[in-house]
Amino acid sequence: MSLPVPGGRAAPRRVTRRAALRWGGRAMLGAAAGAACAARPPSATGVRPTGPRLARVAVSWNRIIRRVVGLRPFRPAGFVLRAERMGDQVVVHNYGHGGGGISLSWGTAELAAREAEAAAGRERRAAVLGCGVVGLSTARLLQRRGWTVTLYARDLPPRTTSNVAGGQWTPTSVFDRDAAAPAFVEQFALASRIAYRYYQDFVGAGYGVRWIDNYYLSDEPPGDDWLAGLLPDVFASATELAPHEHPFAASSVQRVRTMLIEPAIYLNALLRDTHVAGGRVVVGELRDRQEVAALPERVVVNCTGLGAAELFGDEQLLPVKGQLTILFPQPEVDYIAIQRGLYMFPRSDGILLGGTFERGDASLDVDPEAERRIVEGHRRLFAGMRTAGAIPARMGHYPG
């Protein structure tokens, strides 16, 4: 709650860690799966904002520069991270991260590297299957431990699934709570914390990682609190804002600071680092276990994502379709906005508008109806920003 302070201005309302993620976790899942909520008109609150001025996103159909579609490798019970012996090889599995591949990559890579070292004895040569963010992170951590690494991949950046990701650091849409075992939830929390710390070492233009404020908008009360209970330290910055502290037409607004990763920059930097550290890359497709067994390395780390369904027979893996509509860049927009069914990420290569999480849909075709919902929903959201707290879009600098 807000407490009155001298001068009549309300003090910022600090959200309890549990309540903050209770609300934020629900908002993110809603952004992936829910229907859009239309923003109320600017007069809905009647409050003149006095907080930081946020640039309004210019949303219109003639500002669209491209559309991308990707398939998330989702397992209801959660990602697979374990070692098994297959003949004279040790195979460490590290796949199935759903919508949290970028967020969790350093965490599960660290845990996979520990598994490899525990199972491999003195062996220090490894094959890493896959060149997305999970494969590259795993390769780098093995190299840091003194391993010689060869990456085997069908696709390289910028043609990986990771390149289609939005890049917000928030480990959500990873598993179904009712399908995950308690031991997995503990592993998920550990991987999240490890990754959160590792990414901080990459903040800067060279890796395309930066800190950014996330605004979660809602007209509904908070949901359940399980994610907050797991990661209260990670989301300790979460703050509930009073109406005068933001320009959005929403009855509940919470702000939390996290990181935004730009895949085009970040993945190329990781691939470069892998080469510099002596790593090899072999481009080609491994079609079955026999071809994996024929590799010269006796330690194999499987980071193939959806490819693990066919390569290693995982029948729990589901494709989850996601699509993004990308507008011309607006450098003055430096915040993330998330409303149920919608999310906006500002990157240097464009403004990303998203809001789909289609389970079992393996189509790579753009869904026009989903795009219409996303574009029009964002148009209403940003049109509803109160002008005293919103910087007008610098339309003169961008086509359209």
* DSSP per residue, 124-168: -EEEEE--SHHHHHHHHHHHHTT-EEEEEES--TTSSGGGGS--B
Q: Are 358 and 34 in contact (CB under 8 A)?
A: no
pLDDT of residue 190: 98
Model confidence at 225, in pLDDT bands (50, 70, 90)? low
User: Measuring CA to CA, which residue among 276, 272, 304 is closest to residue 291?
Assistant: 304
Highest averaged pLDDT of the listed ranges 16-20, 39-43, 177-181:
177-181
pLDDT of residue 389: 55
- Integer Cα distance of 292 and 304 in angstroms: 12
195 or 226, which is more confident: 195
Q: What percent of the chain has pLDDT over 90?
A: 78
What are the residue ranges of CATH 3.40.50.720 in the chain? Answer: 76-201+262-315
Range 38-72+211-223+320-392 has CATH code 1.10.3470: no
Q: Is the pLDDT of residue 372 over 50?
A: yes
What global pTM score does this model have? 0.86
Q: How far apart are the first and last CA of the chain?
A: 43
pLDDT of residue 25: 43
Q: Out of 58-72, 87-101, 108-122, 223-237, which region has the weakest mean confidence (pLDDT)?
A: 223-237
Check residue 1 and report its DSSP letter.
-
User: Measuring CA to CA, which residue among 79, 106, 107 is closest to residue 94?
Assistant: 79
Q: Are 51 and 386 in contact (CB under 8 A)?
A: no
Q: Is the pLDDT of residue 39 over 60?
A: no
The CATH code belonging to domain 76-201+262-315 is: 3.40.50.720
Contacts of residue 144, Cβ cutoff 8 Å, sequence gap at least 6: none
Cβ neighbour number for residue 175 with a 10 Å cutoff: 23
> Which residue's entry shows tokens 């691939």?
271
Q: Out of 74-83, 111-120, 237-246, 357-366, which region has the weakest mean confidence (pLDDT)?
A: 237-246
What are the residue ranges of CATH 3.30.9 in the chain? Answer: 38-72+211-223+320-392
Mean per-residue pLDDT, 104-109: 98
Write down the mean pLDDT value for the chain: 87
246 or 31, which is more confident: 246
pLDDT of residue 386: 86
Q: Are 48 and 358 in contact (CB under 8 A)?
A: no
Tell me if residue 358 falls in helix, strand or coil. Answer: strand
